[in-house]
């Protein structure tokens, strides 16, 4: 808008658009669209609904759910390095309970509770004890996967149970269960953040914690809640991953998921400084990074090179974020 006031001579519509900001906001979506277009033309059977739903989206959904939790935490100005380890821990605890013959109705909620407890632990360290989020969540990042390995004794054991099969291969309302869950989680988070005071409080705490406290927001509680939700979602994804692998695997379940989630949030044009939250763009970020990797690998480019491309995309994204005028 300031452009209009200071430079009235310019009439072209294109000039009036704040390009850096536009690219920051919609860059990931544009790259995603280009990738989809490329795949429609050059990749066989890409447009097949089964491929889209049951390969591409199903692969991306667990990371996307974790990334939504991460976006909540980042909105408060924090970071959660522990989510990958929590995915492993919740999955392994559930697997061990199921193998011991505990009914799924008990074992599955325990998995999610493990995640919630982890989130509560992180949130308490960050908000009550004032420990920097990176260090606070580093504790569980390190110990969480270790605990998961202790729980399973490091063994990979097949879990042959209908409920685990359902978590991995189940179809709900025509959608793979992970995609269905992603939609439910997204809608729930959008409703809560848009239509209840929780969303405003979240952004207020991330934007200026002291000011938020002064206007009567219980900043500690808000921050703790963000970590609890992130932990709970990671716990749930632990169950999905257990279903995907159909076995206990403490070493690989959820490995590097925190990095993928942070990368997606960054690519989505969200500053890690806090104060912004956009579930839609976060999911676009996850889909974009995942499809980029799949596209490169599908066209014979080694996975290592695809990894290099992913790194470069992240740098490009935050470079644009820095350039854009509404970056804080």
Partner 1 sequence: MSAATADVATVGHRLALQRRGTVAVLVLVVLLASLRYGDAFYSGINLTSYFDDAVKYSLIALGMTFVIMTGGIDLSVGSVILLAGVAGGLASPHGAVVAVLVGVGTGAAVGAVNGLLIAHSRLEPFVVTLATLLWARGLGLQLADTQTVVYGSGALTSLARDKIFGLTTGFWLMVVLFVIAAVVLKFTAWGRTVLAIGDSEESTSLLGVPTRLNKFSVYLLSGALAGLAGVVLGSQTGSVSMDTGVGWELIAVAAVVVGGTLLTGGVGSIGGTLAGLLLLQVIFTIINFENGRGGIEINSYWQNVVRGAFLLVVVLLQTGVGRGRKKS
Footprint of partner 1 on this chain (CB under 8 A)?
79, 81, 125, 129-132, 134-136, 138-147, 149-150, 153-154, 250, 259, 262-263, 266, 271-273, 302, 304-308, 310-312, 314-315, 318-319, 322
CB of 143 to partner 1, least distance (A): 3
As a whole number of angstroms, the distance between CA 207 and CA 211 comes to 9
CB of 173 to partner 1, least distance (A): 35
Do 224 and 67 touch, CB atoms closer than 8 A?
Answer: no
Which CB atom, from 190 or from 259, has the smaller least distance to partner 1? 259
Which CB atom, from 89 or from 175, has the smaller least distance to partner 1? 89
To 5 degrees, how large is the angle CA 7–CA 9–CA 15? Answer: 70
Which CB atom, from 62 or from 133, has the smaller least distance to partner 1? 133
Do 257 and 63 touch, CB atoms closer than 8 A?
Answer: yes
Which CB atom, from 123 or from 199, has the smaller least distance to partner 1? 123
Phi, psi of 266 (to 5 degrees): -65, -45
Do 269 and 321 touch, CB atoms closer than 8 A?
Answer: yes
Which CB atom, from 222 or from 266, has the smaller least distance to partner 1? 266
Which CB atom, from 178 or from 282, has the smaller least distance to partner 1? 282
CB of 80 to partner 1, least distance (A): 13
CB of 198 to partner 1, least distance (A): 26
CB of 132 to partner 1, least distance (A): 5
Q: Which contacts of 268-271 are long-range, i.e. CB under 8 A and separated by 24 or more positions? A: 268/28, 268/71, 268/317, 269/24, 269/25, 269/27, 269/28, 269/317, 269/320, 269/321, 269/324, 270/71, 270/74, 270/75, 271/321, 271/327, 271/328
As a whole number of angstroms, the distance between CA 13 and CA 97 comes to 62
Do 7 and 18 touch, CB atoms closer than 8 A?
Answer: no
Which CB atom, from 160 or from 251, has the smaller least distance to partner 1? 251
CB of 166 to partner 1, least distance (A): 30
CB of 24 to partner 1, least distance (A): 13
Residues 6 or more apart whose CB falls under 8 angstroms from that of 275 comprise 75, 77, 203, 206, 207, 208, 328
């Amino acid at each position: 808008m300031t452009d209009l006031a200071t430079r009235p001579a310019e009439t072209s519509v294109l000039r009036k658009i704040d390009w850096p900001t536009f690219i920051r906001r919609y860059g990931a979506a544009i790259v995603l669209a280009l990738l989809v277009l490329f795949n429609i033309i050059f990749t066989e059977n890409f447009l097949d609904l089964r491929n889209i739903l049951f390969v591409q989206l199903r692969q991306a959904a667990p990371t996307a759910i974790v990334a939504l939790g991460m976006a909540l935490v980042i909105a408060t100005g924090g970071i959660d390095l522990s989510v990958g380890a929590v995915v492993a821990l919740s999955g392994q605890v559930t697997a061990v309970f199921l193998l011991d013959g505990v009914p799924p109705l008990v074992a599955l909620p325990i998995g999610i509770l493990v995640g919630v407890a982890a989130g509560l632990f992180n949130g308490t360290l960050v908000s009550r004890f004032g420990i920097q989020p990176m260090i606070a969540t580093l504790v569980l990042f390190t110990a969480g996967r270790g605990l998961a390995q202790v729980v399973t004794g490091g063994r990979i054991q097949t879990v042959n149970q209908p409920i685990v099969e359902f978590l991995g291969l189940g179809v709900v309302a025509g959608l793979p269960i992970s995609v269905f869950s992603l939609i439910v989680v997204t809608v729930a988070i959008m409703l809560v953040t848009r239509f209840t005071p929780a969303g405003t409080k979240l952004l207020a705490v991330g934007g200026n914690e002291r000011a938020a406290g002064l206007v009567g927001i219980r900043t500690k509680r808000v921050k703790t809640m963000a970590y609890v939700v992130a932990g709970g979602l990671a716990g749930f994804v632990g169950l999905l991953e257990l279903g995907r692998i159909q076995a206990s695997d403490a070493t690989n379940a959820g490995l590097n998921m925190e990095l993928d989630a942070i990368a997606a949030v960054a690519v989505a044009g969200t500053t890690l400084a806090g104060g912004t939250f956009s579930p839609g763009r976060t999911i676009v970020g996850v889909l974009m990074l995942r499809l980029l990797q799949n596209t490169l690998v599908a066209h014979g480019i080694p996975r290592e090179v695809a990894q290099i491309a992913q790194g470069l995309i992240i740098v490009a994204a935050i470079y644009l974020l820095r350039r854009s005028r509404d970056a804080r």
